[in-house]
Structure 1
Amino acid sequence: MSGVGMGFAEILLILLTGGGLGPLLGMPPGPRDEALLRLPPTNAIVYTEWAARGAGKAGAPGVEGMIADQEVAQFLEKVHSAIVDGVIAETENRSPEEQVLGEVLPRLGFELLKHPGCLYLSYEEDHIINGDTPPAMMMSVAQGVRFALVINGEKQADQIAADFLELTQFLPGGERRESLDRLQLPVPLPGIPVTVHRHNDYFILALGDGTLDAAIAGLDGKSNGLADDERFQAGVKRVSFERAGGVTWVDTRQLLKVVTSILEPAGIDAAGTAQMLGLDSLDYFVSSSGIETNGQISCRNFIATGGKTNGILKLAAARGIKTEDVQHIPADVDFAYALSIDVTKILEEVRQILSAVGPGPAQALEDAIQEIDNETGLSVENDVLTAVGDVWTLHNSPSSGGLLFSGIVLTVDIRDAEQAQATYDKVLELIKLNLPGIINNGMSARGAEMKNREFLGQDIDYLNVVDDDDVPLAPALCLTKERLYLALHPQSIKSQLRFLKSKEKSFADQMADDFKLPDGDLLSLTYWDAEATTKLLYSLVPYFGQIIMTEVQSNAAVTIDIFDIPSARAILPYIGPYTSSTVRTPEGIMTTSTSTLPLPVGSAMSTIIPMFSARRVQHFAPVQEAVPADADF
């Protein structure tokens, strides 16, 4: 279907993206439904559960206070109405079927997003794969899949059921069904039943033989599923929150087992390949989101590895970041990032993997490295990797002239100062050889060259461009005994050197306050002063907001205008810093991030704009017949 009013695809996009409100529809978290844990089988490959949407609380910090703020609440209600009214207006002069879609779909979509639910995927391990052609084999594989989506309609279950039944008139036959009792949906997957069913207040979409019955048994307490699985319990405990908004579980061990059983009949040694790549070291992945006591939204992700760092996990095998590794970053940074990665170990692991594959790939790697060495005159391993260390940083400091990354400085620590100086000199010579230099004919000069100036006892090398106003950058480098600095302009390097000489407070001094790190080796960290950035960007919101609202109001059904956009004082009190960290522990790798909800304006407008822009285009498109709703569920 391509022409239901403003476009059925656009309606689906709106619903799938939370009606343009993005994560606002999932936060703050309301009550969880403990019964959902009983639904998935213990061999579930994927399980995702989300809580109901909770109400905001006036005066509370973070997302709860923001949601309850008078201006924000009114704006969100306006956006909701704009979407619903816009869809209805676009379909009111269409066919009766299109009018039903325009009225029911937005209401049903918004309602479903408010309630707790889950989805899960498993595979029947004893399922026999057959078929003589790849398509036939893929169809056979699909027949072993078991999938379910379950949503608890709670007090609105009857209204949700009524809306679902309204949509059944688009099924083959064209008659509205009177019940959602094991309603079979027509799908282009022969031999794979897809069923919609209402069980008490729960709505279930099930795919595969026996999936629906198993889900009902879990809801009735006749099975416990993942609720009794010790690995699942241990994983969730690592990432749990007192107020959890959702949890995701991926059983990588089970996934590898299933993939191996599917591929090996075709002659593929999947187990051997997984072992070579280190994938067999991945036990499970678990993620959880929730609200901290300060109102911040936090997310924890844990990959259980048993402490192994072979294969792909070599990416997490570098040394831990220490306080001194970020001592050079000023305390007032609005953005800071640090990463520890051992390229030497990674290259060594890649060599071992390719050698196990065969002589061809291994030799191709060596040839590629040799080609780089020949073209640059540098040895990647002897000149570069022996000179630099593992910790890279990126930071932007307002006191150093940085405004929204304009003063960004990239650094890498030095492993061997003498070797680093020799390599640095070779790199400079290579750059100079590839620059035209300054050509002076006596009347004018033009060209580009590397220049060197001394500042505070350090040499700064920078690109000097003459008579070319299209080049706003002057990349600069400075090598000290501790690290190499790279910036877009020499001013950032000079500010950096002045900071180092001043002995002012550094970012390292506030790490303990901003990052709640678990025990282990710190592999990466990110800090972003979202409040400072929001203050700057929000000064532009009224201007761009007026441009957007001018277009939005071209649909007569929409009453939202520039006045409805929240003021800065409705947003800024709730914006806190964004922090993220990755830590390697003896059991696995933990990533933790914390932030306040992003501004709702951008998310809402990004959906509203294409919605009403599409309106203008579709007046020129022929209106097609209402789509059979077989693929609409």
Structure 2
Amino acid sequence: MRAARILLALCVLAPPAAPAWSQPPLADKLPEETLLYVGWAGRSLTFDGSMFGQMLAEQDTRQLVGAFQAAVSAGLRLDKEDQALLDRLWGMGGIAWEHPCAVGLFDVLPAGEGSPGSGKAVPVGALLVDLEKGRAEFNRELQAMLALGRGKLKITQAAVGDVSYHRFETRAGPCGMGFIGNLFFVTVGPKAPETVQALAGGKAKPLGKRPEFVAAMKEVSGEQVQIALYVDLARAYQVAEKLTGPGPAATGPSVPGRFCRLCKALGLEGATTLAGAANIVDRGLYEKLRVFSPAPHRGVLAPLAGEALPATALAGVPGDADLVLTFRADPLRSLGEIRQVAAAVGRDLGRRMETVLGLARLRLGVDLEKDLLAHLGDHWTLVSAPSLGGLGTGAILSVSLKDEAKFTAALSKCEEALKKGVGELVRGLDVLSIKAGAVEVHYVSGVGEAPKAPLAPAWAVFKGRLYLALFPQVIIAATSGTAEKSLAELPAFAALRNRVPARPSALMYVDAPHLLRQCYGMLLLDWTARANALAAKTGSALRPAILPPLPKLEKYAWPGITAVTADPKGISIESYNSLPGGGLFFLGTPVPTMVAEALISSLHAARMRASRELSADNLRAIGKACRVYAADNKSQFPPDLLRLVDSGALEPAALISPGGERKPQTDEAGKPVGPFDYVYLGAMMTTQSPPDMILAYERPELNDDRCTRVLLVDGRVEWLPVEQFRAQLARTQEYLQEQGK
């Protein structure tokens, strides 16, 4: 009993413990001066029990991911070797996501500094994965990928201290790949492997112990951090300024560069850090993003730094609201900020803005700033609720008024000018009004020759607020009230409201389950249309039935809330929901097919661009070899390309285009065997032939007979549309016929 009393006394008298927070994943493995850091905690018991973790573990989710992978593979039209390489990458990714991962951007070096002769800026950074017990399985996939990749990349062995790794060159710079214990790393840029090795050996200061990093992450992190983000904005500005260079000055030293001037115009010059974290709390995700920037907040930060919302901010919002956004924003101040940004970005933009305001003044007969904006308040509310007029159509925006009488008088002048103006511009368009109880609603109506858009934009002034909607019925419903209880009175909303700060400057609420149920029919139509279109293009597994049924989606949908607060040191955005991104996550259900379409198109385009560049390199190599031959043969170009291969001036691989499917073939003696992907026309040409004659060209069918690459006599390589190519080929053939006479 005595021991129990002593223990109880210690518990009572002990000072309160500091709030617990978990260290961001692998921040201790990245250098102190890291520009950008993104960390992922991997799987854990807490994560697996969260709604996000349970959703990822669903069979439907795995099928969707598999179908997405199949769609990407089909869209890329890979050969067997490339497909096997991609399969290994998918396999490595499937293992890596279950473990702590981090991506760090250390620096961005100016062109020529990191990779001499590249002409492009070179990123320096690393991807890290702490594999723990998964190293053996991951390494099997890695070794299989390296075995396949050696035929496409010149992979060599390198070492840093006692760490051996694989090294290869890419367009982004030198890359390294290897292990330090169970830590797998992929690096890009010069000296990046040395940096990772030094940190692993405790010979360099890590990001995780940098005071600014620790202080920033403590403000956004909880006990169970799943995703972490950190951006050193102050250093990022310096790097960007170094890359873009200083601006020109008429006399004296250089002036700040355009990037620096743009940041100042946007009000970001004082922002030093961006930090964020997604924390698992009660099976949901509490997310906090914070910009560290001293007050006064201006520019793009000004709309986020309004005064705290009034206690009555949600008064009149019906309980069935799907979406609510309420915030503080002074319209006159906002216009002033826009003016400053426009003037700083470009004088022409600022002048055009003033011209538009001047024309509006002439057309409407009132001064937008003095007569309208000056009388608007700063409390805005956007509500979308079925009880106001249906899904989407029941949306209404309202704003408080400082002086209702003066604003109404100015608005009446605008309406008179509008009645006259719309009638002159569009016949049959009119401005009408309807009285409903104490409110008079004005709206635009189209008849006769007017546009047949199914909208009737409406507005009304009622009890100190201006209401705007797409239909007059919505304003009447909002001002007369509905049978729904107030959202603020619902216990479920009150509990959710307590998850975020009590006095925000902006608040957003999304009833994801209700919204999902109303939108699922449209999601089905959109998903099915996109899936069918994608399957027709690629034969992929992204079929209509892959979309999970409504009950499966509803299972993971929670109402979500987001709040914005501002203080003298920065601005914070905090939210709570079941999944990353809040309730709007479910409206993005068709996104996998949209992403697949976009990704397939972009990857195919990137592959085509890369093939074109490599094909251009082949033609340049042919051109150089032809000139070397001509220098030894009285300016005469070789009779064929095989002569160049035999002499060692040209590699056999240069005869095959990377954009085609043909593989190099050789005879028993090891000599290249045609047909080749490049047509040579120079047997009867010399270095004195007309410079715009075609010396060699890539077969147009390799580019769908739309465009092709040509090598000209003067050594230029051009990318020509097929019509222009055929015309130039005809001129070249006429020249060759004249030479043969």
| Aligned partner of residue 398 in structure 2, secondary structure | strand
Cα separation, 1, equivalents of 2:340 and 2:63: 59
Task: Give the drift of 1:106.
Answer: 2.8
Q: Does 1:120 align with 2:120?
A: no
Query: 1:387: which partner in 2?
Result: 375
Amino acid at match of 1:569: P
Q: Which residue of 1 aligns with 2:142?
A: 164
Structure 1 match to 2:216: 235
CA RMSD of aligned residues (A): 4.5
Structure 2 residue 398 is matched with structure 1 residue 456: no
Q: Is residue 285–residue 304 contact of structure 1 (8 Å, CA) maintained in 2?
A: yes
**Match for residue 178 of structure 2?**
197
Q: 1:479 aligns with which of 438, 458, 461?
A: 461
Alignment correspondent of 2:91? 107
- Counterpart position of 1:413: 400
AA aligned to 1:113 is: W
- Mark the structure with the bigger radius of gyration: 2
1:255 aligns with 2:240: no
Partner of 1:147: 125
* Aligned match of 1:303: 291
Equivalent AA in structure 1 for residue 62 of structure 2: E
1:23-81 Cα offsets, whole Å, 9 max, x none, are xxxxxxxx9986721222222221111111457999x673344445xxxx222333344
- Please report how far the alpha carbon of residue 334 of structure 1 lies from its aligned counterpart in structure 2 after TM superposition: 1.2
Instruction: Report if the CA contact (8 A) 1:56-1:63 is conserved.
Output: no
Q: What displacement does 1:316 show?
A: 3.5
Q: SS state of the match for residue 418, structure 1?
A: helix
1:298 aligned counterpart, secondary structure: strand
Q: How many angstroms apart in 1 are the aligned matches of 2:178 and 2:663?
A: 24
Alpha-carbon distance change, 102 to 587 in structure 1, aligned in 2, over 3 angstroms: closer
- Contact 2:275-2:289 within 8 A present in 1 as well: yes
Amino acid across the alignment from 2:388 = S
Classify 1:233/1:562 alpha carbon distance in 2 versus 1 (closer, same or farther; 3 Å): same
Q: Determine which of 661, 686, 697 is the counterpart of 1:624.
A: 661
Aligned match of 1:24: none
* Per-residue deviation, 1:584: 1.0
Distance in 2, matches of 1:553 and 1:275, equals 48
Answer yes or no: is 1:50 the counterpart of 2:32.
no
Which protein, 1 or 2, shows the higher relative CO under an 8 Å CA cutoff with sep ≥ 6?
1
Query: Residue by residue, what CA displacement relative to the aligned partner does 1:271-300 show, whole Å, maximum 9, x if unpaired?
Result: 67755654332121101112221x223321
Structure-2 change in CA distance of 1:521 and 1:379 (3 Å):
farther
AA partner of residue 40 (structure 2): W
Say if 1:362 and 1:138 are closer, same or farther in 2 by CA, change over 3 A: farther
Provide the identity percentage.
21
CA-to-aligned-CA distance 1:412-448 (integer Å, 9 cap, x gap): 11111121111210121122112339x9xxxxxx923
Q: What amino acid sits opposite 1:321 in the alignment?
A: L
Q: Is 1:346 aligned to 2:334, yes or no?
A: yes
**For the residues of structure 2 that align with 1:365 and 1:82, how far apart are their CA atoms?**
48
User: Closer, same or farther in 2 for the Cα pair 1:541/1:318, shift >3 Å?
Assistant: closer
Gaps of 5+ in 2: 1-20, 249-253, 580-584, 608-657, 665-741
> Normalization by structure 1: what TM-score?
0.76
Asked if the contact 2:363–2:417 (Cα under 8 Å) also holds between the matched residues in 1, the reply is no
Hey, what does 1:244 align to over in structure 2?
Answer: 225
Distance 1:547 1:303, change over 3 A: closer
The residue number in structure 2 matching 1:397 is 385
Check 1:357–1:547 CA distance in 2 against 1; reply closer, same or farther (3 A cut).
closer
Counterparts of 2:197 and 2:420, CA distance in 1? 73
| Contact 2:131–2:184 (Cα < 8 Å) also in 1 | yes
Change (3 A) 1:336 1:91: closer
Q: Distance in 1 between matches of 2:106 and 2:570?
A: 24
Q: CA deviation at 1:538?
A: 3.1
Q: In the TM superposition, what whole-angstrom CA distance separates every residue of 1:234-292 from its partner, at most 9, and x where no partner exists? A: 11111112222111111112223444556349723256775565433212110111222
- Aligned match for 1:584, one of 556, 566, 580: 566
Q: What is the rounded CA distance, in whole Å, between the counterparts of 1:91 and 1:310 in structure 2?
A: 46
Residue identity in the other structure for 2:487: F
CA distance in 1, matches of 2:597, 2:338: 46
Q: Choose 243-252 or 469-478, whichever is displaced more.
A: 469-478
Tell me, yes or no, if the aligned pair for 1:121 and 1:146 is still in contact at 8 Å.
Answer: yes
2:52 aligns with 63
| 2:578 maps to amino acid | T
Shift of residue 577, structure 1, vs aligned partner: 1.0
Moved more, 331-340 or 267-276: 267-276
1:62-106 alpha-carbon deviations (Å, 9 max, x no partner):
3344445xxxx22233334445667889999x8552353254233
Structure 2 partner of 1:284: 273
Correspondence for 1:182: 165
> Where does residue 524 of structure 1 map in the other structure?
506
One-letter amino acid of the counterpart of residue 486, structure 2: S
Instruction: Return closer, same or farther for 1:358/1:86 CA change in 2, 3 Å cut-off.
Output: closer
Checking the alignment, whether the CA contact within 8 Å between 1:45 and 1:255 is kept in structure 2 is yes
Aligned to 1:490: 472
Of 496, 504, 507 in structure 2, the residue corresponding to residue 514 of structure 1 is 496
Q: CA deviation at 1:355?
A: 8.1
Task: Letter of the 1:448 partner, please give it.
Answer: L
Q: Please say if residues 299 and 592 of structure 1, whose CA atoms lie closer than 8 Å, have aligned partners that are also in contact.
A: yes
Secondary structure in 2 matching 1:320: coil
Deviation, 1:495, is: 0.8
**Partner residue in 1 for 2:28:** 38
Secondary structure of the residue that 2:443 maps to in structure 1? strand
Residues 1:220 and 1:515: Cα distance change in structure 2 (over 3 Å) = farther
Deviations 1:521-543 (A, max 9, x none): 62322111110121223356667
